[in-house]
């Protein structure tokens, strides 16, 4: 009996010991398949990765939770870059951008970090586009740094307090740095692979996941220990500024255009879209069919929406105030 217990224990510890090796092998394969596609610039929090395409008025694209700039590289960047200078960035700690564990991850802090990049690139009041968590960061950027942007175009943005945590995010509530580190090198990546279909079906649904999402869309970059750790940190910090943000919406300094899909399973369009649009006449909302991952599933629709938002800025002084805040 003793030898059976010993053999079982040996097998268990052997399996646990294999997990970091397996995770490292997955990480290496992912990084070989999806190398950096842009340039790097050094800021106060480390090297930041971004894509810079096209010429013309500047547009900055800020991605959502657990993502990276590849989400915008399924047609949206190139579409806008026909007549704009488009900067799509890996948020701090995501994709190929750096962020140390002690660096704040709340939306206001990330907004300040992105403003540093905007200044370093010499951008003059770009239109800022934010998807999901990137929408909350974009709002903080406009509220804290109103002279750094001429307006916002938000795609399925996180905007309001309240609402339920979507099932794919419930495994991200790991508050301990040590636990996050240990999980990231043992169970997190194998379990992510095991749950891939469930997570993608929920996140993208009712739309289907494009075949190019894994590589061109950068989806596989989430299968790395650093991505898991920083996604946990971003998720835990994401609600930290929402109370402050909600109290400031009446004073939004720039026009805000919002695009939401009616069947979004991650963020409730009634709360984060319709209710948000009621906070200020400068906010306009457009509702369409689809799910949460609009930059990936409907890049042409997003491009048209962003162009319309920019066109609205040109005539903002002539617009009838009663037309602003309209839900279409």
153-201 residue pLDDT tens: 999 999 999 878 888 888 899 999 999 999 999 999 999 999 999 999 9
152 within 8 A of 134, measured Cβ to Cβ:
no
Q: Quick check: is 120 in a domain?
A: yes
Please give the tally of structural domains in the chain: 1
Angle 14-20-23 (CA atoms, 0-180°, nearest 5)? 125
Q: Quick check: is 8 in a domain?
A: no
Q: Quick check: is 5 in a domain?
A: no
Whether the pLDDT of residue 91 is over 60: the answer is yes
Q: If you average pLDDT over residues 211-240, what whole number do you get? A: 96
Q: Which residues pair with 59 in a beta bridge?
A: 86, 127
Alpha helices by DSSP H, 185-321 = 188-194, 196-204, 225-238, 242-248, 269, 276-277, 294-297, 299-314
Which pairs count as long-range contacts for 41-46, CB under 8 Å and 24+ apart, including other chains?
41/117, 41/120, 41/121, 43/113, 43/116, 43/117, 43/120, 44/113, 44/116, 45/92, 45/98, 45/99, 45/100, 45/103, 45/113, 46/92, 46/97, 46/98, 46/99, 46/100
Q: What is the CATH number of the domain that holds 317?
A: 3.40.50.1820
Q: Quick check: is 206 in a domain?
A: no
Distance between CA atoms of 68 and 62, rounded to whole angstroms?
9
pTM of the model: 0.91
Instruction: Name the maximum alpha-carbon separation found in the chain.
Output: 85
Q: Which residue range is the domain that position 106 belongs to?
A: 36-162+238-323
Residue with tokens 């399925």: 156
């Amino acid at each position: 009996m003793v030898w059976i217990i010993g053999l079982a224990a040996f097998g268990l510890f052997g399996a646990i010991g294999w997990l970091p090796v397996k995770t490292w092998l997955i990480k290496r394969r992912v990084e070989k398949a999806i190398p950096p596609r842009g340039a790097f610039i050094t800021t106060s929090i480390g090297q930041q990765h971004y894509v810079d395409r096209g010429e013309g008025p500047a547009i900055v694209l800020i991605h959502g939770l657990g993502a990276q700039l590849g989400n915008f590289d399924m047609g949206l960047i190139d579409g806008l870059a026909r007549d704009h200078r488009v900067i799509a960035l890996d948020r701090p700690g995501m994709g190929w951008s750096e962020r140390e564990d002690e660096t704040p991850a709340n939306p206001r802090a990330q907004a300040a970090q992105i403003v540093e990049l905007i200044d370093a690139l010499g951008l003059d009041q770009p239109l800022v586009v934010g998807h999901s968590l990137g929408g909350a960061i974009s709002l903080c950027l406009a509220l804290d740094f109103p002279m750094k942007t001429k307006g916002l175009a938000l795609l399925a943005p996180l905007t309001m307090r309240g609402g339920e945590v979507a099932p794919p995010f419930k495994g991200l509530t790991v508050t301990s740095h040590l636990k996050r580190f240990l999980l990231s090198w043992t169970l997190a990546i194998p379990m992510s692979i095991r749950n891939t279909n469930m997570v993608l079906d929920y996140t993208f649904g009712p739309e289907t996941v494009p075949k190019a999402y894994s590589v061109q869309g950068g989806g596989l970059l989430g299968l790395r220990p650093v991505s898991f750790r920083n996604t946990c940190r971003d998720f835990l910090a994401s609600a930290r500024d929402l109370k402050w943000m909600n109290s400031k919406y009446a004073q939004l300094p720039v026009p805000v255009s919002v695009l939401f899909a009616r069947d979004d399973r991650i963020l409730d369009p009634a709360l984060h879209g319709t209710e948000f649009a009621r906070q200020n006449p400068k906010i306009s909302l457009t509702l369409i069919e689809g799910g949460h991952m609009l930059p990936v599933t409907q890049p042409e629709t997003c491009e048209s929406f962003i162009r319309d938002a920019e066109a609205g800025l040109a005539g903002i002084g002539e617009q009838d105030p009663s037309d602003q805040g309209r839900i279409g």
